[in-house]
Each structure stands twice: as C-alpha cells, then as structure tokens.
Amino acid sequence: MDRAALVERGPCHWELPASGAMKVPVVVCASQTLLNAMDDKALEQAVNVACLPGIVRASYVMPDAHWGYGFPIGGVAAFDAGAGGVVSAGGVGFDVSCGVRCLHTGVQRDAVMAVQTRLADALFAHIPAGLGSTGSINLNAAQMHDMLTGGARWAVSRGWGDEADLDRIEERGQMLHAKPAAVSESARKRQRDEMGTLGSGNHYLEVQEVTQVFDAAAAAAFGIQAGDVMVMIHCGSRGLGHQIGSEFLQRMVAQAPAHGLVLPDRELACAPIDTPLGQEYLGAMRAAINCALANRQILSALVREVFAKWLPAARLPLLYDVSHNTCKVEEHRVDGQARQLHVHRKGATRAFGPGHPDLPVALRPTGQPVLIGGSMGTGSYVLAGMAGGEALAFSSACHGAGRAMSRSQAARQWQGGAVIDELAARGIVIRSPSPRGVAEEAPGAYKDVAAVVDAAEAAGLARKVARLEPLICVKG
C-alpha cells in the first residue's frame, strides 16, 4: 500500500481511495503518530478486505490496528448478503468473542491494598489461568449443547450470577440463532473442561483503581467515581473458538472456487453469506459467542466468591460486557437507507451511541460502555459510544492498546521475572503460571493505550469516561 496515497479527511481520519480491485476505500482512524507506527502488513490487509464481494461503505482500520490473520486486528467491515456479501472466518478471528467485562466492587483503593497480596493469591488459586488450563466444570453432551445455545443466560440458570447481569451483556447474554450442531466434536472436546478458565496470551483478570474521570456525567451514569475499584476480565471462547476458526477457514479455502471467489489472500477465506457454508459458519460462530459469554459469566461468579471472603463489604454488579472478534447482523443506514448488514469486528468493539434501542434503558441516554483493556502496567479505559460513530465506522471502536511487537520479540527483550519485579516496585501485584507469558505481554510490547484512546475520541468513535490503573493482575 502506498501511504502517500492516503488523504487526510479530518481529525484522525485518513482515506485511501478505491482503485484497482478495491470495491470501497480504506478508512484509517488514527493519529499521524499511530499511522506512522502502523505496520505496512496491516494496511495491506485492509486493502485486501476492500476487495471482497458485497462490502459496504469502506474497509475500516481502528487506531490500535496491527497485522493479523486475513483481516488486520483492529479491522471492521460490513457486508450485504443481498449484494453477494461474504462472511469471513479470518474477519472474525480464531478467539471468537474474545471480550472484556467490567464489574464494580463498591470499595475503594485502601480496602484492596490492605489485603492486596492475599487477594491476588486467592484469585490466582481460584481461577485457572494459562495455556491449556482446565477447571472443575466438566460438561456432558447435553450440558454442552445447552451452553452453546444459552450463553451467559445458561450460566445464570446454573447459579453463576443472577438475572441483573444479563441486562448488562451484549445480546443480553445469549446470541440467538446459534447452531450447536455446526460445532465439531473436536471443538467440543477442547472446551469440555475449559469453562471458567482464563486461558493464556493477552487474557487476564485485573483489579483496577479509577484514577481519572474525563466525563463526569457519563461516569455518574455508569456508577463510576475516582478512587473506585473495578474488576476487568478479558478472555474468550478458549479452545472451542480456535477450533471453529481453524476448521472453517480450511473449508472456506477449499470451497472458494466453487463459489466463484478469487481471494486476494488465502487468509481471507470466506463464503457467500447466503450459502450453506456461510450459514453453517455463522451458526457455529454464534455458538462460540455463547461459549465466551458463558465463560466470562462463570469467571465473574468465581471472582465474586473470592471477594466475598477477603472483602465482604464488596458488591460486584456488572457494568458491561463487550465482545471483540464477532460478525453480527445489525441495521445501519447507508446512503439514507436502512440495511441489514453482517458487521465483522476483528479486534474491535461495538460502540452504540446514545438512544440505540439495543442498549438497556438505563444506558441509552449515555451510550454503550466501551471497555478498552491496557497491558499489565498501563491503564485501561471506560469509554462511551458516540452518536456519530454509526456513520463513521458502523458504531465500532478500538479494543485495546494493540501490539507494537510480536510475542517472540517481546520474549527476547524482557524476562518475565524482571517484569514482575518492576511492576511490584510500582505497587502492582502480578500472578501468572508462565514467566515467558509475562515477558510476551510486557507493557513495552504494546502501543501507548492513552494515544490509542485519544485517537478514538478525536475520530468520533467513542468518548473517554474514565481511566483505570491496575493493582492486581492475574495473567494467563
């Protein structure tokens, strides 16, 4: 991609006009600094996405974008089934519905610091984390089917949380039209013992302090004030989602010629939405979304159990749960007409603005909470969706800081033990089963999350509400 061809259209808004095989332009939402640091491969992938059939309006790149599989991580694209649009497993990603949920605790920093080490140890002991981690829950065939159909609603029915949680989760905790029958036995087997586990990589559980409030009215609506302690949980559909992604990518590649698809990149394997393969993938992906929602719901229940012992004054209602790595059918206005579109968000967050009917009544005046996770030693953010975001990028925003280097590069540059010691000196307690995993996730391996969030706000994607900084991090 020729960066010189990018045209600045507004604050943190760059456009590469469509040319050649591109059906729509590429729109990059980033500051000049973030754009300069963005790897060429991510931008090339965005151009390839712009070549796919049935794409609508633009191929979008979020400010935290970096190279991914097929789509850039931080890529957003919407497709119209009636115009030959496609669904792409690479446009969703392997960790289907990886996402973040944020819980209030009702206590402030001093209460946590009085038991910080013991609380960290208890969370680490109670919540399985790490590569291949398994928990105490073992699902039989009937339970697996019900979980893949019911999502967080199923988890609540089994005693992990209560009905009030469901109103604060995308899709109210249950992704409809899931097809458990489209989920292979291999995927089910991988997930049988993994419910209620964090996994590895960039997944984590953090106890955080609200250190800064940017929008007092929105913060009040979200029940947030400076000094509050919150809990963020970041994980997804574990082995099941990865298996679904791998299997359908292979099938999509094999069947592409039969559908008349000429792929600009094999990693962009896709299928027309209105084909048996496209519908089967959507059904399996929706089942994986339910798996992720159920998993985060169970993890919330485990966190509540630990807090009940060590901080009995704490109450942990759910602020919100948002997913990344999804494809959802949503109504959006394009050229003045309402259209049903399949919106792919890979490493991107849904960010509905004020008044959206899919938001719970209590949140409609403010807009959707948008949860942006940082790295172990940096801040996370709560943002709110903006009214103009629908027209800018189908109501989408960034999802995190975004990697600045690969995991292997980070492991060569840092030692896990040294990172843990450095963060401990700053008052941040880290617990992890893997020193190498800590090194791979060192704060310096990521972009500046503050710069990413500033760019998202300047671009009109979401506005800043509060910054949170870690006190405890359980890292997979």
Q: Is residue 365 part of a domain?
A: yes
Residue 254 belongs to some domain of the structure: yes
Mean per-residue pLDDT, 340-363: 97
- Cα distance between residue 32 and residue 42, in whole Å: 16
Single-letter amino acid code for the residue at 266: R
Domain containing 311 equals 3-404+446-475
Continuous segment of H or E residues that includes residue 109: helix 109-113
Contact 78, 57 (CB under 8 A): yes
- The 10s digit of each residue's pLDDT in 214-245 is 999 999 999 999 999 999 999 999 999 999 99
Amino acid at 27: V
Contact 468, 435 (CB under 8 A): no
**Residue at 439 is within a domain:** no
130 pLDDT exceeds 90? no
* pLDDT for res 179: 98
Cβ(93)–Cβ(245) below 8 Å: yes
- 417, pLDDT greater than 90: yes
What's the rounded Cα separation, in Å, for the pair 446 and 437? 14
Res 374: pLDDT? 86
- The token pair that represents 285 in the structure block: 């992906």
For position 172, what pLDDT does the model report? 97
Cβ(77)–Cβ(91) below 8 Å: yes
Measured CA to CA in angstroms, residue 212 lies from 65, 324, 469 at distances of 25, 25, 9
Neighbours of 85 (CB within 10 A): 22
How far, in Å, CA of 221 to CA of 198, rounded?
A: 29
Distance CA 239, CA 242 (A): 5
What's the predicted TM-score (pTM) here? 0.97
- Report yes or no on 419 lying in a domain: no
Token readout for 353 is 């603005």
pLDDT for residue 4: 87
CB contact burial 433-451 (16+ within 10 A = b; e otherwise): bbbebbbbbbbebbbbbeb
Q: What is the mean pLDDT of residues 402-428?
A: 92
Contact yes or no for 103/230 (Cβ under 8 A): yes
In a domain, 413, yes or no: no
Question: For residue 346, what pLDDT band results from cuts at 50, 70 and 90?
Answer: very high
Per-residue tokens: 301: 């229940």
* 391 domain residue, yes or no: yes
Q: Are strands 462-475 and 429-431 parallel, antiparallel or unpaired?
A: parallel
Kindly state the DSSP code that residue 444 receives in the 8-state scheme.
G
The answer on pLDDT for 1 being more than 80 is no
Residue 377: predicted pLDDT: 85
Domain assignment present for 418: no
Mean pLDDT within 51-60:
98
Segment holding 100, helix H or strand E: strand 99-108
pLDDT at 351: 98
Rg from Cα positions in the chain: 21
CATH of the domain at 451: 3.90.1860.10
Phi-psi region for residue 201, left (φ > 0), alpha (ψ -120 to 50) or beta? left
Structurally, the chain folds into a number of domains equal to 1
5-17 pLDDT per residue, tens? 999 999 999 999 9
Q: Can you tell me the mean pLDDT for 87-98? A: 96
Which phi and psi angles does 438 have, rounded to 5°?
Answer: -65, -45
Looking at residue 131, what is its pLDDT?
80
pLDDT greater than 80 at residue 392: yes
- Mean pLDDT, residues 43-58 taken together: 97
Q: pLDDT (tens digit, 9 = 90+) per residue, 175-219?
A: 999 999 999 999 999 999 999 999 888 899 999 999 999 999 999
Percent of the chain at pLDDT exceeding 90: 91
The Cα 450–Cα 385 span in angstroms is 17
Would you place residue 161 in the very low, low, confident or very high pLDDT band (cuts 50, 70, 90)?
A: very high
Round the average pLDDT of the chain to a whole number and report it. 96
Per-residue confidence (pLDDT) for residue 133, from 0 to 100: 85
Domain assignment present for residue 234? The answer is: yes
Amino acid 63: pLDDT: 97
Per residue in 173-183, is it b (16+ CB within 10 Å) or e — as a string?
bbbeebbbebb
Residue 280 φ/ψ, nearest 5 degrees:
-65, -40
Q: Which residues are catalytic?
A: 399
